[in-house]
Amino acid sequence: MLSNRAGGALFDIRDNILYAQQFTSGLTPETFQDDRRTFYAVTRCLEILSEAARRLPQSLRDRHPDLPWRAIMGVGNVYRHEYDNVREQIVWRTVQNSLAPLLAAVERELADAP
């Protein structure tokens, strides 16, 4: 059974992945790079999901060893503390290529929760 904290974190991860995907829908890498508002919004989504991943119990993360949990949890520090080094291309690639496996794992966990 999931604690309220873990359940809330799963919903936060799911919601912010879906927001990031929605915000970038219909954009190209070039239009994303030129759209400051969307870049900021998507970066914030990634920051939130990174922090939410930290709130998941180790036992839950252990059920999904294929996911790079250390990187997922650590990238939020980059967004917060090294914000001047965050590049649009990296954020774009993250949304386009890296979030689907995390979303699938989160949705499995939510579906299996009582």
Question: Which structural domain range is residue 94 located in?
Answer: 4-112
Residue type, 5: R
Distance CA 59, CA 28 (A): 38
pLDDT at 114: 77
pTM, two decimal places:
0.92
| pLDDT computed for residue 51 by the predictor | 97
From CA 94, how far away is CA 17, in angstroms rounded?
10
Find all residues with CB under 8 Å of 38, minimum gap 6, and list them.
23, 24, 27, 32
Structural domain total, the chain: 1
Question: What digits encode the pLDDT tens for the residues 17-54?
Answer: 999 999 999 999 999 999 999 999 999 999 999 999 99
Q: 3-class secondary structure for the chain?
A: CCCHHHHHHHHHHHHHHHHHHHHHCCCCHHHHHHCHHHHHHHHHHHHHHHHHHHCCCHHHHHCCCCCCHHHHHHHHHHHHHCHHHCCHHHHHHHHHHHHHHHHHHHHHHHHHCC
Lowest mean pLDDT among 56-65, 69-78, 79-88: 79-88
